[in-house]
Structures are given as structure tokens and as C-alpha cells.
Structure 1
Amino acid sequence: MRVPARLWAMLGVMVVAQAATTVVTAAPAFLIPHLHTAEGLSLAAAGLLAGAPNLGLVLSLVAWGAATDRFGERRVLLAGLALTVVAVAASMLVHGFAWLGVALVVGGALSACTNSASGRLITGWFPPERRGLAMGIRQTCQPLGMAIAALGVPPLAEAGGIPAALGLGGALTLVSLVCCAVAVRDPQRPPRAQIAAAGNPYRASGTLARIHTVSLLLVVPQFALSTFGLVWFTVGFGWSALAAGALVAGAQFAGAAGRILVGVWSDRVASRLGPLRLVAIVGIVALLATAACGWAEWAIPAAIAYVVASCVSVADNGLAFTAVAEIAGPGWAGRALGVQNTGQFLAAAAVGPVVGAAIGLIGVPAALALTALAPAIATPLVPRPEAERPAA
């Protein structure tokens, strides 16, 4: 089925908006060296500021999803992005650790407007046979935003301090706000009486809860690999920071391409959950292969296995996101996507300290092998494809 050009344009705007808000939440993490050396903050205090936007994000995701279900995607995007620009401007003007932390929390909470709204918009406009591809493209926004923040924030901080660095995300969000105002239109939805009659999908079955649990588990290897890949290849294999950084960045971009390919696959087989189960199974093998290469101290095979495992570890995101929106239906998609993201962010927050402690005790290869338990537990929890609602 041919998709009108305006829908692809709308998808492009969603990628820009989600990438821009990713820069807003990611910028403080790339400010840590500046905060420590130039501003005199301890690493613990700088790390606390770096995590502030994610705290706001987690606290507001479900609320933004409910607002999207109630008021529609366009209103939520325009209001949320405009408020995000204001919050970023406030963070550029405040002084003092406490006030900066508050501004960053508020900015993160407001930036969450794009998470559910963009996913709901895509499932509302794109036909089922193109949704996997569209959602896979949408899922490239996170690595794109992270790459922009990694490249832009440190030099801006060096040249203009904290305000200039934080202003990058604000400027990009302002651009995305204008684009959304021009391009975004709400898809047609069933009458409210029909939506109400459909009822709460969480009460109808445990399918959504199982998908949320599976996604929570599959986040563990994703963030373990991305968080500790750099230190593994620099300390464990003696690579330069440049070479190790290039490997990790390359794995992120390869993973972004992989999300698109898996989305196309799900369109071809007309199922999200079938491919999701296979991705979980392949993830077990990829993690164990990476751990085995690490134990053998084979640097190049370990690097190849690391890239493959990283690609597989992010391949589930678009599949699960699309399945949740389709199964929840138009009346609950926003809230369901909010719950989906909230669980993933909470799990991701736990990965750093838990996996870091495991690496300190048993080393990187053994810790990676241990993370293979997550997809192993997730695999039997993936609902059968029969549980998928025919998407409308």
C-alpha cells in the first residue's frame, strides 16, 4: 500500500521532535566533565544533575500519555514542546545547584510529551503493513539525539558555559515545535462512545502487562552494553578512548539501522510478537558469544560480537512499542505507551549500579553472561502472536 508523502513528512517531524527532546534530557550527562573541572562540582553532584531530567521524564510519562488520549497528539505536542523550550530557557538563567537541578527535572518532565504522542500519531496514521517500518524509523531518534548531544554539548560548554550547552536542546526543540505546528495533524479516531465501549485493555487480558515486563527485561542488556562498552574496551583490551568510542558509537548507529530492518520484517510477517520472541532468543546467543570472546581475550572477535549484541539488544524496542499501541487501541494507546516507557526507564536506571557492581565482582565477560538471564526470562513471557489485535 502506497503511503502519502505527507505521512512520511509527519514521521520525519516526529523523529526531529523526539531527537530534540532526547538532546534536552541527555545534555546534562555530557556536561559532567565541565561541571566537575570548571564548576567545581564533585562527580557525585554532577551525576545527580545528569540524572535529573530522567527523573522528571519517568514521573510524567503516564500523565502525558493520558493527556494524549484525552486531547489528541497535536495539542499535546505543541503545548509540551513550547513548555519544554520555556523550561530549558529557565535552566539557562538559574544560578545555584539546587535551582539548576529543579529546572532540569521540570525540563525532563515536559520533554516527555513526545514519547507517547509520537508513537500514537504513527499508529494512528500509518496502515498496519507500514507501521513496523514507520515505528522503526521513529525509534532511531534516541541514538540520533544522543549523538547530537555527544558532539555538540562539550564544545558548547567549553565555549559558552552551561547556558550555551543547555541551549542546544532548547534551540532544537524550538525548531521541532515550528515543524509540528506546520505538519502534524491528528488522525481520525473512533467516537468516544465506541472507545468507552471497548473498555480497559488491561482488564481484558494480561497481554499488555506481559509485553511491558518483556520490554523491561530486554532493556537490561541494551543499557549494560551501551554503558560499559567504552570502559571494557579501554581497560580490558587496552584500546584508546577514541577507538573504543568509535566502536560504541558505531554500534549505536548500526542498532538504529537494525530497528528499521526489524520493523520491515514485522510488517512482512504481519506480526510484532513473533519477531519479538525471536529477537529475545537471538539476544541470549549474542550476549553469551560476546562474553565468550571476552573470556578468551580475543579483542577483534569481541568487538564484532559486541556490535552484533548491541544491535540485537535494541531491536525489540520498535516491535514492543508498536504492539503496545495496536493492542491498547486508540482510547488507551497513550497511557499504555507511557507505562511502557516508564518501566523501561526505571529498569535502565537500575542497570548502571547493579551491572557495575557485578563487573567489580566478577568482571565484564561474566557480567555480560549474567545479563543473558534477562532475555532468557523474557522469552517465555512474550505473548503468542494470536494475542495481537488486528490493527485498525
Structure 2
Amino acid sequence: MGEHRRWVILCIGIAAQIASVSALFGVPFVLPELRAAYGLTIAQAGTLAGLPSLGLLATLLGWGVVIDRYGERFTMAASLLLTALALLLLGAVDGPWGAGAVLTLVGAAGGPVNAASGRLVLAWFSARQRGLAMGIRQAAQPLGIGASAALMPLAAEHWGFVAAMLLPAALAVAMVPPVLLYTGAPGADPPSRAPSGGVGSSPASPADSAADAPGAGTAPRPAASPYRHAAIWRVHGVSMLLGVPQFTVMTYALVYLVTEHGWSAPTAGAVIAATQVPGALSRLLLGLWSDRLGSRLRPVRIVAVVSGAALLGLTVSSAVLPWAAVPLLLACLVLSMSHNGLTFTAVAETAGLAWAGRAMAAQNSLQAVSTTVTPLLMGVVITALDGLDAVFAVAAAFCAAAVAAVPRDRAGAAPPP
């Protein structure tokens, strides 16, 4: 029963995160209608698209304390309901300032679903399955973005910006009953299988192997703060650096296809949606690879190198190989999203179950710094250098910085199979 239940809970966590992701990151796919509704430039609309990340940044650490204290079920249900209510407020505000305030509120409400569902994975899956399970769970982000890219431009084209934003609100409401019914059902307490949380400790130690066994019911051991050590901060830093190219490509891909290549917004949205399937698959496969390799961080370094090279190719493709621009853009969309599951798992394993809610909330908070600052930074780049090609070059520089920042494999490494 426990084996069956853990996969059911994983599926519920995925669906809940898809709802949250659609609300938080669906705005870039309705930028043309957002611009038309409020008379905005591309840079101004991109800034509004980053405001949910500002809300994330302001509240995620607090949500992490709530997760560790009150559990995943309460936190996820509350977040989904508050997200839906915030999205409904878009119909009651006028002007870009009001819309910006509501989008910030959406981010403040929607953040903890990612950390809470990640904590469920940490609690229910052993270290030898955790890379795969977290990769599957992290696939919810590209799946949610793909659903948004496919559906929201169509809704926005027919009914406008506000109506399109009601789609993630409806999905969030629909996910509340499954979260309440299954993630906290009586007798469903997960086995404790977390490492002690010491930075550099391996989950494969004898004591942890006993706690790792299916059905183990021992309480998590008290753990000192992992933030007294540098390794977990470096993993956070890598996530922040790689978040810049990820959010850059996601924010400007549709606008790039429309303005630079003459595509219609629905067509561009459908193609971007199609890239989310290989993007989700890449997270799953990289998680499985990390389980077999015994390292979460070596694959992250490789992904950062390849992503940076693809972004540089995209930068020069318009002048050198115009026919390659669109394939390179699609490759960048896939590559830029593939690292998340690995860094998220590395942070969770380094922190241990006792600190997992706070550590994963901190991970999301620091990523929110990237997603908040990225549209502002790239708006300046577009204005100063007059073109979208320049933003891809800047994003490649962040990939290079991430390669240098990836710590050695001892911290956050998976145990060998």
C-alpha cells in the first residue's frame, strides 16, 4: 500500500504544481494582450510578467516555516485557494499599477506548492529513487508552462488578458479537494527517510540506510542548520544563475517568434508548448541519470555548458545562419529548464527532512530573485542595445558563471546505487 500511495501522492503533487506554475508563469504567453490592454511597451510588459516572482520572493521563506510546522496538505490547499482568489481580482482592477499589484499578490500566494510537494518527495522516496521521483515532480513546471503556452494565447486572443488568467484559477480550485483528501489521509504518514542534513554527508551511511528502508517509521533526527556551511549556498547560487537564462528564454520566446519571424501568437504559443514535453522528459532523464551516476551536480555542470553554447549560437544565428534561429530557440527552451530537478534535489538532500521545507522555500525564494530581476535586467539590455539577440548573449554569460559556481560532488550527491 505504501508503494502505491507514494506514487499517488506524487501525481497529486504534480497536478497541484501545474496549477501553481500556470498562475505564476503564464503571463509571458499573453504579453501581446497585456500590452494591448494597458498600452505597454515590450519592456514594460516583461516587467509586469516578472512581478509574480517578486511576490514569491517576499513570502516564500515564511511559507517554508508554515510547511515544516503545519505540513504539506494545509499549505498546498491554502496556497491554491489564495492563488485562485488573487487571480479573480484581476477583473476588479484598472490600469497597469492595479494589474501589477494583483500579479504580485498571485506570486505571494502561489509559491509554496513547489516546496511542499518537494518535501513530500523527500519524505516518501528513498535516496536511490529520489532523483527520478523529483525529476518527475519537477516535470510539472514545463508541463504547466506548456499547458499555458498552448491554451492561454487562444483564450487571450478570443476573450482578452483577464479571461486568459482565469484558466489557472479554475485549475487551482479543482486541485484543492484531491490535496485535502489524499495527501493527509489518516494512516498515511510517510516513512522518515531523510539524511541528517549535515553538508557533505551521504544518505548512504548505515544509520541513514536504516531510515531509508521502506516502511521505516523513525522520527527525523534533530539536525543542525545546513546554512552554517558553504556548499548549500553554492547550490542555491547555481540555481539563481541558471534561472536567468531560463526565465529570459521563457519570457521573450513568444515575442521573438512574433516580432522577429512574423509568427502569430497562437502558433508561437503552440510550438513553445510542444517544447515543454521534451523539457519535462529531460528533467526525468537527468534525475534518473543522477541516481545512477551518484551525483546531482555533475549533470548540472554539463547542462550549463551546453545551454550557454546554444544561447551563443542563437545570438549570432540571425546574422550568420537565419534558418537555424528557430531550432536554436527551441533547443534553448528545453535546455534552460532541465536543471531544476537536480538542484532542487541537491538542496533537499543536503538540508535533510527537518530543514527541507525551509531549504526548498529558500531555493524558490532565491530563484525568485532571478525571475524578478531578469525582466528588469533584460529590459535595460533591450533598450540599450536595441534588440532581442543581446538578451540571449547576456543569458549565456550567466550560464558560464553557473559552470564556475557548481560545487564539487560531495555536497548534495546521491548515494551510488
Q: Distance in 1 between matches of 2:32 and 2:332?
A: 29
Which residue does 1:11 correspond to in 2? 10
Distance in 2 separating the partners of 1:95 and 1:364: 31
Aligned to 1:331: 354
Pairwise CA distance, 1:123? 1.4
Q: CA deviation at 1:317?
A: 0.7
1:60 is displaced (CA, Å) by 1.1
Secondary structure in 1 aligned to 2:372?
helix
CA distance in structure 1 between the aligned counterparts of 2:93 and 2:261, rounded to whole angstroms: 42
Q: Mark the runs of 5 or more structure 1 residues left unpaired by the alignment.
A: none
Higher helix proportion: 1
TM-score, length of structure 1 as denominator length: 0.84
- 1:198 equivalent in alignment to 2:201: no
**Aligned ranges for residues 1-392 of structure 1 at < 5 Å?**
4-26=3-25, 33-34=32-33, 37=36, 41-43=38-40, 50-89=49-88, 91=89, 94-96=92-94, 102-153=101-152, 156=155, 164-185=163-184, 186-189=189-192, 197-203=222-228, 205-238=229-262, 244-299=268-323, 301-360=324-383, 361=385, 363-388=387-412
Query: Do the aligned residues in 1 keep the contact of 2:241 with 2:398 (CA within 8 Å)?
Result: yes
Residue 215 of structure 1 aligns with an amino acid whose one-letter code is S
CA distance in 1, matches of 2:239, 2:219: 30
Aligned residues of 2:232 and 2:411 also touching (Cα < 8 A): no
Matched residue SS, 1:332: helix
Q: Which amino acid aligns with 1:202?
A: Y
Give CA deviations for 1:307-358 in whole Å, capped at 9, x if unaligned: 3333222111110001001101111111111111122122122222323443
Per-residue CA deviations over 1:140-193 (Å, capped at 9, x if unaligned) read 222322333344445556777777544432321122111112221452448999
The alpha-carbon deviation at position 11 of structure 1 amounts to: 1.1
Asked whether the equivalents of residues 30 and 153 of structure 1 are also in contact (C-alpha less than 8 Å), the reply is yes
The alpha-carbon distance between structure 1 residues 46 and 351, as it changes in their structure 2 partners (threshold 3 A), is closer
Find the residue that maps to 1:384 and give its secondary structure.
coil
Where in structure 2 are there 5+ consecutive unaligned residues?
197-217
CA contact (8 A) 1:61 1:115 kept: no
8 Å CA contact 2:276–2:334 kept in 1: the answer is yes
Note if contact 2:53-2:369 (Cα within 8 Å) is conserved in structure 1: no
Give, as a single letter, the amino acid of the residue that structure 2 aligns with 1:304: P
Alignment partner of 2:38: what SS?
Answer: coil
Listed one character per residue, the Cα deviations across residues 190-230 of structure 1 (whole Å, up to 9, x for unaligned) are 89998674211011x20110011111111122222223333
State the SS of the aligned residue for 1:262. Answer: helix
Distance 1:24 1:58 in 2: 16
How many angstroms apart in 1 are the aligned matches of 2:158 and 2:255? 28
Q: How many equivalent pairs are there?
A: 385
Task: Report the alpha carbon displacement of residue 100 of structure 1 after superposing the two structures with TM.
Answer: 6.0
Separation in 1, partners of 2:99, 2:350: 40
Which residue does the alignment assign to 2:199?
A: none
| Identity in percent | 39
1:35, 1:305 → 2: CA distance? 27
Task: Judge conservation of contact 1:247–1:303 (CA < 8 Å) in 2.
Answer: no
Which amino acid in structure 2 is aligned with residue 228 of structure 1? Y
**Alpha carbons of structure 1 residues 123 and 197: separation in structure 2 relative to 1, 3 Å:** closer
Moved more, 215-224 or 205-214: 215-224
For residues 271 and 365 of structure 1, what CA distance do their matches in structure 2 show? 34
**Quick one: which amino acid aligns to residue 15 of structure 2?**
V
SS at match of 2:298: helix
Determine if contact 2:296/2:414 at 8 Å carries over to the other structure. Answer: no
**Paired residue secondary structure (2:354):** coil
